[in-house]
Amino acid sequence: MLSLIKFPRVFSINQVPKVYHEDSIISGYRHPRSSATDCILSLFQMTNETLNIWTHFLPTWYFLWKLVTVVLMQQGWQDSFTWPLMVFLLSCCIYPLASSCAHTFSTMSPRARHICFFFDYGALSFYSLGAAVVYSFYAFPDKWVNSSFHQWYIPIATANTVVCTVLACYSRLGFPFLQYNGDFVKRLPGNPSFSKFFRILAFGYPCLFDNIPLFYRVFLCTGDGCTDNDTNILHYKHIGLALLTGFLFATRLPERLAPGSFDYIGHSHQLFHVCGILGTHFQMLAVEQDMVTRRPWLTANAMPVSFANSLGPALLCVVVNLIIICFFSLPLLSGPACQKSKEGQNKKKAATKVCSCY
Ligand SMILES: [Zn+2]
């Protein structure tokens, strides 16, 4: 059956515009002006994006199944104590789904690519808030429950999502209306490492902030009130995988050691997806276990879960993130089809850039 389907051809790095280039990935690029159908067909052929897509698409269904189980079977919506878990599980469904969609449709055009990844960043930012909400109600060490830091933890995490999404979107093309260049192709001010620095900062900062109570609980706390229980081993696994995820993103290993050897299987972005999802899986197991085992103590001693400190911040985060994404996307949707002036000045140069201008 598959032999009857004509798959789109793949290209080498020199055959696609620079906006599509990935460090040390030499082959397996899809057409830079793929149709939506070609993008979907590419799920079933080997390109340098195929495993990036599947490593997040399949886990989306796993987390959706977990969410449905909590919402419908355990009737979580009737029990406010489970609302933080629902927010977290929703964020665990959205971020791999947004990522797999971004990787699938990012080759429709440079504009589509930027917008796809703006949504990807917004979804990751929402996940960082989901983690903060669930930590706040289930994972905070006994000692810190109801402290000033605890009371400010979710408001700060909500504000962090704004910083995270703005910085991550900024890392692609700069600020809309001020810094976007005419063809929307070049990344932020020339130097790719500049973009990468902003993106690492955008996701590293909220991740570190969210994990402050957990780091304190599992690495620093001594004496009573440290919540030193069986769940800590799951938290260790999650933290280990989260560090590995960050390391892979920052170093782009192993493909930097052997450019071209890991184009289809084994490059850092695939490993980054796998480690990130496995980390989220252990994070989910840990917070579920904390939720069940600590419930009597938390119900008696911690602030109660309400709309204002769980579902409300999540809703606010979604709305604000969508506004930010629209703000960064608007010039891409309304911008000129091609940079006419450049074309007029140098027709030959414009002709070589035909794939970059749409
Ligand atoms: Zn990705």
Ligand 1 geometric centre to CA of 10 (Å): 19
Note the pLDDT of residue 347.
38
Q: How far apart are CA 196 and CA 110, in angstroms?
A: 18
Quick one: average pLDDT of 68-95?
89
> What pTM does this model have?
0.87
For the chain, what is the mean pLDDT? Answer: 86
Q: List the domain range (segments joined by +) for residue 273.
A: 44-356
Ligand 1 geometric centre to CA of 262 (Å): 16
Tens of pLDDT, residues 117-127: 999 999 999 99
Q: How far apart are CA 258 and CA 28, in angstroms?
A: 16
Ligand 1 geometric centre to CA of 109 (Å): 17
Query: Does 107 fall in a domain?
Result: yes
Ligand 1 geometric centre to CA of 269 (Å): 6
Query: Does 29 fall in a domain?
Result: no
Annotated ligand binding at 103? The verdict is yes
Q: What is the CATH number of the domain that holds 173?
A: 1.20.1070
Residue type for 148, please?
A: S
Query: Does 56 fall in a domain?
Result: yes
Query: Does 21 fall in a domain?
Result: no
Tens of pLDDT, residues 146-183: 999 999 999 999 999 999 999 999 888 887 777 666 55
Q: How far apart are CA 32 and CA 17, in angstroms?
A: 7
Q: Tokens 């515009």 correspond to what residue?
A: 17
Q: How far apart are CA 210 and CA 207, in angstroms?
A: 5
Ligand 1 geometric centre to CA of 103 (Å): 7
* Closest-CA residue to 67 (of 43, 45, 84, 47): 84
Q: How far apart are CA 338 and CA 66, in angstroms?
A: 46
Ligand 1 geometric centre to CA of 100 (Å): 7
Query: Does 119 fall in a domain?
Result: yes
Ligand 1 geometric centre to CA of 327 (Å): 22
Q: Answer for the pair 277, 56: CB distance below 8 angstroms, yes or no.
A: yes
Query: Does 14 fall in a domain?
Result: no
Ligand 1 geometric centre to CA of 283 (Å): 19
* Closest-CA residue to 60 (of 115, 127, 3, 11): 127
Query: Does 37 fall in a domain?
Result: no
Annotated ligand binding at 267? The verdict is no
Note the pLDDT of residue 32.
85
Tens of pLDDT, residues 285-305: 999 999 999 999 999 999 999
User: How many structural domains does the chain have?
Assistant: 1
Quick one: average pLDDT of 102-112?
90
Query: Does 35 fall in a domain?
Result: no
Annotated ligand binding at 273? The verdict is yes
